[in-house]
Each structure stands twice: as structure tokens, then as C-alpha cells.
Amino acid sequence: MIPKDYEDPHLIEKMLQRTKNEAVRSLAYDPFDRNLYWSDMLNKKIFVVSVDANAFTTPKVFLDFSHENTQPDGIAIDFCRRTLFWTNSNFTNSCIERIGLNGSERKVIVRGEMYAPHGIVVDQLTDRIYYVVDQQGIHFSVESANLDGSDRQVILKGLNNEPFSLAVTKDAIFWTDHTNRAIWGHAKFINETEGGANMILKYQDRPRGIVARIHYLTNSLNDEHCHKVVATIKNRILSIAPPTNSTLDMGAYVLRKKYCLNGGEFVAKTTSCICKIGFKGTRCEINECFNHCVHGTCVISSLGLPTCECPRSHFGPRCQWYKCASHCMNDGHCIIEDSGEPSCECKENYGGAHCEYNSTEICALYCKILKLEPDTNVPYGCHDICEELVQHSENGAETYAIPKFEHLEMCQQVDPWTSTVIVVFVCGVVASLGLMLLIVQGLRRFYKPARPRIKKTFVVRKQASPSTDTPLTNRPVATEQCEITIENCCNMNICDTPCFDSKLLEQTLSRNGKVKEDKKMLINSMDDELY
């Protein structure tokens, strides 16, 4: 439906008669050819019809996706570059595509990291597309990209929101939400300080389509890609005059042409105004630069946006911030240099980029050092201060830390006491670490448990009786056996591993210190020696 009377937009008339089951998802209008496009998710098609056609005109099929894995959802038109964009909300093949209005050069421009993209709009001011995505679960996102799909940006991520369609203005984005049955708004440009989305309106029913007036006849007239198209549309609109049946009607028409202010052009058919760049309002009565800049000069950019040219002393989007505000400390005087940077003129005995250093406090510590070591090099000017602080120092002045003070003229020679202190400090740290290591090692050796002495006793019988005994099974009679205690043998197995008699070894070594063969000291012929 379209308005029947532009002076009363509530009076509408049918533009197209519904013929069968359709599921219209989104609309897009081309002001150059005066064609209306819409997507039908049920029939998987995009239709087109002229707005000048009668209600019984059969629309044409612009794109047919019935044999593709595509569900056409949101659509948008770049009327300057003669291109149609649409979103495919089939989550198995979700993407954003574009095609020329002549039906050529179809291309996928955005794919991946989106579950079900819905509404889409072309922003002629920034040459970008904006679209909303219903992500998996309760997540959603508002995103943006160049017209070729590059430079993809996420404007906003959120929860518990089912976005349907969206619209953009010069500085904001608006979208409809089925979950909360509301319209939300958010800044169009990414800003780290920007908070979350704001609810603009709430409804009883689910809001679907949303449109924002962008005043393209004013704002896009100077755009290099839109100039020819916008100029053609504007001339066609202005050339249409209402029918006049009498001299009275002509007189009223002449008076109405003065209805628009500030050079605005009157549109007779719609009784509205086409404003010049920098003005807005029903009669172009509002200057967009009015009260826009706190300081400085307001100018209208090529995009039709008011911008501020700030003086050297101020900065900010609206020149609202003073560079010298809280810049100098200790009653210093702030001045703006020719380069535009602020600097401080400090009071006597103060210095630093912000007058943050008190030279009297700094010199006070040097004065104490100078009293002990008269040859110490001190900053320029401290000698005079030391003379003033002599009495105070003797009575016990406070000791202050010495900050870096670049604005005092320092002597070239490095103070020798500084290097000595550093060397002594480093040596002390190293010595402390070494002492701690020795203490730890000593404690470990002192508290380490002693190694156990292993002893094992073997019973040996001189002669075994084959008829009654088996070796190593039955214990021999006490009168025919002996016991041997062996310490620290390898495997503690007398049959397989040779062992040493520690006492015999000590006696032999004491008599002959040149014995080299340890095997001579083995326990040999045990039976002969024991019996």
C-alpha cells in the first residue's frame, strides 16, 4: 500500500492485490526506476513491480531460488550503483549476496560466522551495508561491511533479542525485535565508550518492517557515485506540477513555493521541501550547525554531517575540551604553543612539564650530601638554595626522594657515590644468596637419614647326609653347623656373589699397603677355614 494523499499519509490505497499464498519478508524501493522489490520466503523468490502499475498488475519474478538451498530474507538496494543485496537465512547455507539490477554479476560477498542473517540495509552516506544476524541460541549481532563484503565489523553483540529488520540514519542504527516486541537503537559507529543498545519503543504486537528517512536528495547530491542518479531523480520530482484548473489554484501554488526556507525547493506533488545541505526540518528551518560546536567553527562535510573546526586551544568532536584544563600544577601558568601543544610556565623553585617538581625539595637532599662531601656535583641553582636551607638542615629537615628532573641543568660528571652504592648492593645480594645456599645444603646433609647396614646370617653344614637332608632345605644339627654373619654384600647370596671380610681386609692392608687385587681377600674355602 502507498499513501493516497501526501498531505494526509493515513489515507492509503492498495498498490498490489494479493493473488495466492505469499510470505513477504522484506521490501526495497528503487527511486530511480520507481520499482518495488520484495522477498517471498514461502515461494523462495524475489519479485519486482512498478509503483506506477495498477493493483491488478502481475509482478515479475526477479530471482528464483526454488531449486537452490536459499531462503531469501532481507533485501536492500544501492540505487546509486544499481545493485540489489539480499540475505540467505537458511542456516545450512547462510550468506549475503548481491546482483546488478540488470540481472548480472551475482556474487556471494559475506559468508561464515553467521547463523541466520535477516534484515539488511545500504547506507549511501558511508557506502556500507548493515545487517542483523540471529545467532545460535539466545545470541544476536549487528554487523557492517563494505559493499563488496570486505572490512566486516561487529557493531554490537547481545543476548535475548531476535532481530528482524533494520534501518540506519546519519549516526544511529535501529532494528525491530520479535522477542521483546520492541525497537532498539545503537550508535552506528564503533565506539569503545558506547554502552549497550537502548530500547526506543515497545509494542503489543511484533514489529516487523522499519524505515528511516535519510534525505538522500540532499545528503547524497554531492556523492561521486550518487550525483547523476540523485540529480535525475530530483529534476523529475521538481518538474511535476499539480494540475491547475483556475487562476486561484495557480496563485496558491506560487505562494506555496515560498513555503520552504533557506533556499529549500518546493515539491508540488507532495507539498514538501527538498532542503539544501546543512538544513533540515519540514520547511528547512533548522540549521544543522546551530549550537553544534561549543568552540570553533561548524562546517558541513561532504556526507552532509556537521563537523567542527577547533581553535588551537580546544579539541574534541564539538571542540568542548580545553587543552590547558588541569594541565599545570602548583599554580603554573598554561600557554598554547604555536604547534598547538600546551606548555607550562612554572613559578619560582618549580619545574617539570607540568610544574610537578619542587626544586627546593630536590636540592634539600643534595644539600645534605654536599655538607658531608663538599666536592659533590649538584644541580645548577642548588647552591643558593643550600645557603637558604643551612639552618633548617642543622635543625633536622625532612628527607625527600629525588625524582627525574630534566629541566635542571645537571653537571656532566656522574656522582661517584651512586656507582659505589650500586656495586655494594649487588655484592651484598650475591653474598646473601651464596650464604643461603650453604645453609640449605648443610641442613639437608644434617637431617639426611643414615644409610642402613645390611646384615644376613648363613648356616653352613660341613657334611650333608644325602639320605636325610637336602641342601638348603633342612636345618643341620647344632653340633655339626656354624653361622656366618656377612655385611654389605652385593646380592646377599653366598653361592653366587663374592663378599669381603672387612676385618681381614683391614689387617692385610695394614701389613701390605700395595695389595692391588681385591679378589685375594675373598672368603675362599669357607669349609676348610671354619673347621
- The answer to whether residues 40 and 112 belong to one domain is yes
444 Cβ neighbours under 8 A, 6+ residues apart: none
For residue 207, give the nearest of 179, 187, 169 by alpha carbon.
179
Encode pLDDT of 161-202 as tens digits. 999 999 999 889 999 999 999 999 999 887 644 568 899 999
Band of the pLDDT at 68, cuts 50, 70, 90?
very high
Encode pLDDT of 327-351 as tens digits. 999 889 999 998 889 999 998 878 8
DSSP letter assigned to residue 257 = G
- The answer to whether residues 208 and 245 belong to one domain is no
Evaluate whether residue 371 is within a structural domain: yes
Total structural domains within the chain: 4
- The answer to whether residues 132 and 32 belong to one domain is yes
Please name the helix (run of DSSP H) or strand (run of DSSP E) that holds residue 360, with its range, or none: helix 359-372
- The answer to whether residues 135 and 45 belong to one domain is yes
Structural domain range at position 365: 357-409
Mean pLDDT of 507-514: 53
Encode pLDDT of 389-447 as tens digits. 665 445 554 443 444 444 444 333 345 555 677 888 888 899 999 898 888 888 887 77
Q: Can you give the C-alpha Rg of the chain in angstroms?
A: 48
pLDDT score recorded for residue 74: 96
Evaluate whether residue 429 is within a structural domain: no
pLDDT over 90, % of the chain: 45
Q: Give the residue from 258, 283, 308 where a domain finishes.
A: 283
Reported in sequence order, the residue ranges of 65-152 that DSSP labels E, i.e. its strands, are: 72-78, 83-88, 95-100, 107-111, 116-123, 128-134, 139-146
Cα gap 366→390, rounded to integer Å: 12
Encode pLDDT of 221-244 as tens digits. 888 889 999 999 999 988 876 655
Evaluate whether residue 305 is within a structural domain: no
- The answer to whether residues 274 and 184 belong to one domain is no
- The answer to whether residues 247 and 375 belong to one domain is no
Evaluate whether residue 182 is within a structural domain: yes
Range in 67-71, 89-93, 465-469 with the lowest mean pLDDT: 465-469
pLDDT score recorded for residue 525: 45
CATH number of the domain where residue 43 is located: 2.120.10.30
Evaluate whether residue 328 is within a structural domain: no
Evaluate whether residue 235 is within a structural domain: no
- The answer to whether residues 144 and 274 belong to one domain is no
Encode pLDDT of 87-117 as tens digits. 999 999 999 999 999 999 999 999 999 999 9
- The answer to whether residues 46 and 141 belong to one domain is yes
In order of 211, 276, 368, 402, 493, the CA distances from 396 in angstroms are 78, 76, 10, 18, 84
Encode pLDDT of 247-306 as tens digits. 556 666 666 778 899 999 988 878 889 999 899 999 999 999 999 999 999 998 877 789
- The answer to whether residues 157 and 250 belong to one domain is no
Cα gap 14→53, rounded to integer Å: 11
* 368, burial (CB in 10 Å: exposed 0-12, middle 13-18, buried 19+): middle
Evaluate whether residue 383 is within a structural domain: yes
Evaluate whether residue 300 is within a structural domain: no
- The answer to whether residues 258 and 154 belong to one domain is no
pLDDT score recorded for residue 480: 55
Q: Give the residue from 232, 249, 283 where a domain finishes.
A: 283
- The answer to whether residues 155 and 58 belong to one domain is yes
- The answer to whether residues 392 and 524 belong to one domain is no
pLDDT over 70, % of the chain: 67
| Cα within 13 Å of Cα(296), Cβ side | 23
Residue with cell 540506519: 168
pLDDT score recorded for residue 307: 92
pLDDT score recorded for residue 11: 64
